[in-house]
Structures are given as C-alpha cells and as structure tokens.
Amino acid sequence: MATFNYNDSVLLAAVGIMDKKFNEKELRKPKYGALDAFLTKRKLLISNLEDIWKAEQQAVSAKFLERDAQTVGAARTCNPTAEYGDSGDYPITFETYSHTVQTDVKVFESNEYSRVEAFQNDLYNRFMDMYADIEQDALDYLYANRTTVQGLRTLNTWNAAAAIMEVAAADRDNYLNYIQVEMIAQRYRRLLLDVHQVNILAMYRQQFAQGAANDENLKFQFPNYQHHMTLATCAPLGSDYYGGNFIIEEGGIAVLDWIPYINRKGQKSENGHIWTTMKDPFGYPFTWAVHIIDGCVDTSYGGLNIGGATQDYRRIYEFSLDLSFNDAPITNPGETPIHMYGLRAS
C-alpha cells in the first residue's frame, strides 16, 4: 500500500474507489460516554461558564462554600454569639488537544476525490483521534479522583486497597438496586450518572428486559440513573471483575472548555496567518480554536512526490481546544463525589 496521503486515489494509479457505505463503516466513531457524563448539567458545578468562556486568560481556581460543623446549643441565651462558616478554592488545570489538517490545490486536480472530500475525511479522522484521547482522559480522571472513603456504604464489600466497592457475583440481579441504596445512604438523592463498561451494558439489557410478564421483574432498579457507556479502558478492572462503573450524582463532575481570546475575536496577520473559530463537528457544545497558515510547497513527483506541482498552494489548519475535568470539592480527606463499583466475576 502506498504511503502517500491520498495517493491511492490518484486517477492514474487508482484501481477502484470504495463506496460511501463502506467508508461509513471504516470511519464509524464510538460513543464518548465518559465525556458525556462530564457535560451533563455541568452548570450545577460551574455556574459561571459564560464568564470563563469570555475571559482573556484561563481560570486557574474556583471558589466553593465548605461544610462547616459547629456545636449545637442546649439552651437559650440573652446574648447569643455566632461564627461565620468558611469557603475555599480548588485549582483548575487545563490540557490542550490539537491536530492539523492540510489541503493542496494542485494535488487534487488529478485526483478522484476533490479537495473538499479529502479535507472532510482528514478533519473527521483527526477529530476522532482527539476525541479518543479526550474520552480516555475523562475516564482516567474518574479513576484518579475516585473516593477512597467507604462512608456509609455497607450493602457491598469495600476493597480499601483498590478503593472499589465490590458487588458479589451472587448479587448481580440487584446490582443497580444496591448501588442506589448505598448512594442514598451517602445522602445522594438526585439523578445518578453511571459511566460503565460495555460488559455492564450486556447485563443491563438483560435485566431491563425482565418486565412484568417475566418470572422475575428486575426493571424496578433502573429509574434515577442516566447511563453512559464508554469504550475507553479502565486498566484496574481486570479478570477478577465482570465489569465496572463510576457512579456520580449529577452536578458532581463537569468539564470546562476554553480557547484563546485571539481566536474568539478573530485576527489576520500580514504574513497570512489567520486566527478564528469553528463549531464542534461532532455536535458537542465546544467552540474550537482554528489557526490557518498558507504557503507555497513543492508537491510534484520531484518534490514531496504526492502528485501535485512544483509551485502548489498549501493551506494548513490547526484545530485546538483546552479542556479541564473537575469534580465537586469535598473537604473530608479522601472523599470525592466519584464512586467506583465493580461486579465480581465469580
């Protein structure tokens, strides 16, 4: 197979073109369940998203009100005194995700595919690359920031070394039921976000099908959950587990997005650089920063050897986005709103 970009489709060398349906299978993208969970009602955690988006500089911290326990009085007094509660702040760290796409004018003058078709294909592939990294980082964040405190969860078995609440294989049919009861014991009563592996989906489908007409109805345990399947890998869930989940009450996690001010306002330099923005091509509520540069390049067979010309016009697009994954702060040492569960294989 040729190593040249799109050289396989140059008319002089082409032997056939894959049809659109085959391309759709080749380019199919997965569900990004972990990222979807971070986007669910994220304003419950980060209320000033618009201010962050408009800021010229990245946010580096956020304020929150702390739980402040004080002694309860046992009598009335003519001269009561009081103490203020407290607040704190937690750091916000961004990571940049970027990729480039290029297009040459003369390369595609003798190509079965147009510049637009090639550009769209490259754009789609590069965003698949970036979203694979984003999804893995989202899942890795959940694992790295899972709670290490058992708290009031007692229906299942606490594996302190792994910071995983283990559900016995024999309790498989009460998996979501037991998890929800333990979350209620932890005073989480709102909608629960469930980021789970694909194996867990197979169990859910079987249990959800156990309706009223079946001998055993397991459907009762599904309300109050929003399920998000991920194909990203959580390494610690090995062969000892059938599968695993991260359970978080809505508003417990959020992802922040930011791009530089120069892209938001738009800018063009005298030497051909352009800074602008683009909506997310996968439909996510992100605005991407776009940096465009133009230039002359030799794409002839005596130059880069990709079927163009000695003086070809090349435009390179850089797409970038800064993301910050966060969870709601809890001052109790080791406790976070992210609870990891694993169903034992046997």
Please report whether residue 317 resides in a domain: no
Please report whether residue 208 resides in a domain: yes
- Segment 46-80, tens digit of pLDDT: 766 677 666 667 666 665 555 666 777 778 788 77
Please report whether residue 164 resides in a domain: yes
Give phi and psi for 111, each to the nearest 5: -120, 145
> Could you tell me the pLDDT band of residue 211, with boundaries at 50, 70 and 90?
low
Gap between the Cα atoms of 112 and 212, Å rounded:
57
pTM of the model: 0.81
Please report whether residue 2 resides in a domain: no
pLDDT at 324: 92
- 85 with 65: CB under 8 angstroms? yes
Please report whether residue 212 resides in a domain: yes
- Listed in sequence order, the residues at least 6 apart from 105 whose beta carbon sits closer than 8 Å to its beta carbon are 115, 308, 312, 313, 314
Using the predicted structure, report yes or no on whether residue 23 has a pLDDT greater than 90. Answer: no
Please report whether residue 6 resides in a domain: no
Using the predicted structure, report yes or no on whether residue 221 has a pLDDT greater than 70. Answer: no
pLDDT over 90 for what percent of the chain? 35
Full domain range(s) for residue 243: 144-254+331-344
DSSP state of 190: S
pLDDT at 210: 67
Gap between the Cα atoms of 288 and 319, Å rounded:
6
- 346 with 144: CB under 8 angstroms? no
Gap between the Cα atoms of 236 and 220, Å rounded:
30
pLDDT at 5: 42
**Domains contained in the chain, number:** 1
Please report whether residue 248 resides in a domain: yes
Please report whether residue 271 resides in a domain: no
Angle at 177 between CA 171 and CA 180, to 5 degrees: 125
Average confidence score pLDDT of the chain:
80
